[in-house]
Structure 1
Amino acid sequence: MRVLIVDDEHLARMLLREFLAGHADVEIVGECANGFEAVKAIAEHDPDLVFLDIQMPKLDGFEVVELAGSKPHYIFATAYDQFALRAFEVHAIDYLLKPFSRERLAQALAHARSRAPQAAQVEAVVAEAAQRHAPLERILIREGSKVHVVPASQVDYIEAQDDYVQIAAGGKTWLKNQRLSELESQLDPQAFLRIHRSYIVNVGAIARIEPVSKDNHCAVLKNDVRLPISRASYPKLRERLA
């Protein structure tokens, strides 16, 4: 089993390496101290299993999974149990709450070998964990080997383009493989509004609303970009700008 260790704490990586040394079928192919290193290492080493810390600088564990994909199996390791539900939502094999014992790690490896989480354990962790519904603070865009991290607050608008969305921020645009409705559900509803079936706008980026015809209007952004407003969304936008 080819294993990658990802944790921003050196001591945590050392301890995990020591615990894994007792398992003859485990080969550690690399260690990473942050999320960017992890995304690159997963692509280069093609591990079977990734031990992944959640709270890390630059990219957190969930963002690593989003960018690296679901080909490897993941075991999340963290000192905070409020992330447990989301960990299993991204199909983690297991979830280790720090500090964990050699025995608990062995159990997690057994789950990885069977390629399925133990139902009773998942239910127990989920029952005890607190789920957080914080709005998306940054949007991750992978462009070849590059990763762009765009703060949500800097986004001017988002446009649907088939199975992609185009993110516009600071005069630049990026394509992201995601549906508009999915991204809409992750954004702060106090800051963003769906004004058209193809557009979400940052309300703070709007300079004014102008009529296009008798019953149609457009939103003029502070950078002079014009976005169509559907008839159903017009009253909502007027209310937000009042």
Structure 2
Amino acid sequence: MTRAWDLDSVATELLACEGERRDREPFTDDWTDLDLDTAYAIQDETLRRRLARGERLVGVKLGLTSRAKQKRMGIDVPLVAWLTDAMVLPAGEPVPQGALIHPRVEPEIVFVMRDRLQGPGVTAVQALAAVDRVHGGAEVIDSRYRDFRFRLPDVVADNASSGAYVTGPVGLDPSGLDLTSEAVLVEVDGAVVDSATGAAVQGNPAEALALAVNDLGRRGHALEAGWVVLTGGMTDAVFAPPGASIACHFTNLGSVHISGGPREDS
């Protein structure tokens, strides 16, 4: 027998899965007509509950901005989700294995906003002009869905597989950077496993930023001054089990190092 889901019950279940480190099948297996507007409403409701329990809104993240990742996941549009202070991973801290289900790490170009910005109709040039500084970073994604199997409404409701994120120590003025050609090498245990440039992110990370601003504007929100914006994974995500050592080396934005933490048998 299939279960009848609604906005409230899905929000409750997603936060319960997160809190209990429990994965599940996608909701669209039962709720076959779950649409994007409802999925974003679920995402907003989970944010409301996060804020009610004391978390603070600090920015937004984009998901599935890479054309290759969209094709692999069978999804044709990027998505936008929320970041709170509970998702910040301080530099040098390991992946919080005890809080995540099946963490993976992906490199990101990260913007910190200088000005408030609201869409719709914002161009990439206008969006980049509102940025204070650019960092290299990494996101630790963690889906509440088993084997990362989901449709677009599922992952939108799940806050775009949010887990944790770390911002690198180098922050530069965007006017001096060619973000399209800014490259990253991803190392796992000392071996390079992937590489990409900023062009992998909607052709230019500034385009991803404009997309976020305009999507938020459609939903009645804005990007606020001081907020962090994760522009989306530049490469495929790599697994981050205990014992792993992951590094993301950027051309101009320094390096971000993340440890998987001690091995479970150590």
Q: What TM-score, normalized to structure 1?
A: 0.24
From the CA coordinates, give the structure whose radius of gyration is larger: 1
- TM-score normalised to structure 2 length: 0.23
Q: Which has the higher contact order (CA 8 A, sep 6+)?
A: 2
Point out the structure with the larger strand share: 1
